Structure 1
């Protein structure tokens, strides 16, 4: 479950990162409220994952998923510029996230650390 919590938290990080970009400096309340809700739940799920995962691995994956998701949404839907180097670095980022998961020695067990 810890890995699922971590993935959910990382996905929600994309939501609050995009919300910050569109909140116009926290002036658009209709954007601010869902952004804050997304941030709270993002950190909630991240903290749940830390009961069974090391903070070093979990934080790197949490922020990496948020960065990856935000970059992909920017490229696909928000008109961010596309370049071969940008694409290469995004692929490198997701490769590193997958690599961290594969080499992680954290084991999910029934109890907390």
Structure 2
């Protein structure tokens, strides 16, 4: 169950940065509320995951999901520049996450 919590925490982290972008500097109140809910949810699920997953492993995977998801959403949803090098480095993050999982337990 802790891995489900960790994945949910990472996805909420992606939601957090997406809603923050959509809030236009926190001027759009509906997105401000969604940012707060996503942020709280992300930290809540991360705290639940860290009850049984080591700190280094859990935090590394959580930030990796957030970073990779944020870059991919930026490229494919928010119209940011698409570049094969970005995808290369995102794949390195994913490989790092898998590596952490393999050696972390």
Segments of 5+ residues of structure 1 without an aligned counterpart are 106-113
Mapped to 2, the partners of 1:22 and 1:36 lie a distance apart of 13
| CA-CA distance at 1:26 after TM superposition | 1.2
Does 2:102 match 1:102?
yes
Question: Which region of structure 1 is more displaced relative to structure 2, 2-11 or 66-75?
Answer: 66-75
CA RMSD of aligned residues (A): 0.9
Shift of 1:98: 1.1
More helix by share: 2
| CA deviation string 1:68-89 (max 9, x = no partner) | 1111111222211112211110
TM-score, normalised by the number of residues in structure 1:
0.88
User: 1 CA distance for matches of 2:103 and 2:56?
Assistant: 13
What is the TM-score when the length of structure 2 is the normalising length? 0.95
Name structure 2 gaps, 5 residues minimum: none
Aligned length: 105
The ranges of structure 1 where at least 4 consecutive aligned residues each deviate by more than 4 angstroms after the TM superposition are none
